Amino acid sequence: MISARRAAELPAMEGREAPRKERAAAPPQDDRHDSGLDSMKDEEYRQLVQELQDIRLQPRDAPAWPQGDPPPHAWAQQLTEDGDTFLHLAIIHEEKALSLEVIRQMAGDRPFLNFQNNLSQTPLHLAVITDQPEIAENLLKAGCDPEIRDFRGNTPLHIACEQGSLRSVSVLTQYCQEHHLFSVLQATNYNGHTCLHLASIQGYLAVVEYLLSLGADVNAQEPCNGRTALHLAVDLQNSDLVSLLVKHGADVNKVTYQGYSPYQLTWGRDNSSIQEQLKQLTTADLQMLPESEDEESSESESEFTEDELIYDDCLIGGRQLAF
- Tell me the per-residue pLDDT of 257-294, one tens digit each, with 9 for 90 and over: 999 999 999 988 888 899 999 988 988 888 777 665 44
Ranges of each domain in the chain: 1-17+35-61+72-121, 146-215, 218-288
Residues sharing a CB contact under 8 Å with residue 196, sequence separation 6 or more, in sequence order: 161, 185, 208, 211, 212, 216, 217, 218, 220, 229
- Residues 292/303, Cβ–Cβ less than 8 Å: no
pLDDT score of 17: 36
Is the Cα torsion angle 13, 18, 19, 21 positive or negative in sign? negative
CA distances (Å), 254 to each of 229, 261, 286, 307, in order?
A: 11, 6, 9, 46
CA distances (Å), 141 to each of 73, 89, 155, 158, 261, in order?
A: 21, 20, 17, 19, 43
Residues sharing a CB contact under 8 Å with residue 271, sequence separation 6 or more, in sequence order: 237, 239
Residues sharing a CB contact under 8 Å with residue 291, sequence separation 6 or more, in sequence order: none
- Residues 287/258, Cβ–Cβ less than 8 Å: no
pLDDT score of 175: 94
pLDDT score of 282: 87
> Quick one: 218-288 is in which CATH superfamily?
Ankyrin repeat-containing domain (1.25.40.20)
Identical fold for domains 146-215 and 218-288, yes or no, is yes
- The DSSP annotation for 35-97 comes to -GGGG--HHHHHHHHHHHHH-BPPP-PPP--TTSSPPSSGGGG---TT---HHHHHHHTT-HH
By the 10 Å C-beta count (0-12 exposed, 13-18 middle, 19+ buried), 194 is classed as: buried
- 2-11, 221-230, 288-297: range with lowest mean pLDDT: 2-11
Would you tell me how many other CB atoms lie within 10 Å of the CB of residue 97? 16
- Residues 193/201, Cβ–Cβ less than 8 Å: yes
- The DSSP annotation for 259-293 comes to S--TGGGGTT-S-HHHHHHHHTTS-GGGTSPPPPH
Mean pLDDT, the chain, as a whole number?
A: 79
Rounded distance between C-alpha atoms, residue 79 and residue 62, angstroms: 9
In the chain, the amino acid numbered 109 is D
Q: Return the DSSP state at 306.
A: G
Residues sharing a CB contact under 8 Å with residue 314, sequence separation 6 or more, in sequence order: 320, 321
The CATH code of domain 146-215 reads 1.25.40.20
- Residues 144/122, Cβ–Cβ less than 8 Å: yes
If you average pLDDT over residues 27-31, what whole number do you get? 46
The predicted-structure confidence for 157-178, as pLDDT tens digits, reads as follows 999 999 999 999 999 999 988 8
- Residues 208/168, Cβ–Cβ less than 8 Å: no
C-alpha neighbours within 13 Å on the C-beta side of residue 229: 32
The predicted-structure confidence for 47-63, as pLDDT tens digits, reads as follows 656 655 555 444 445 45
- 10-19, 199-208, 278-287: range with lowest mean pLDDT: 10-19
- Three-state DSSP class for residue 322: coil
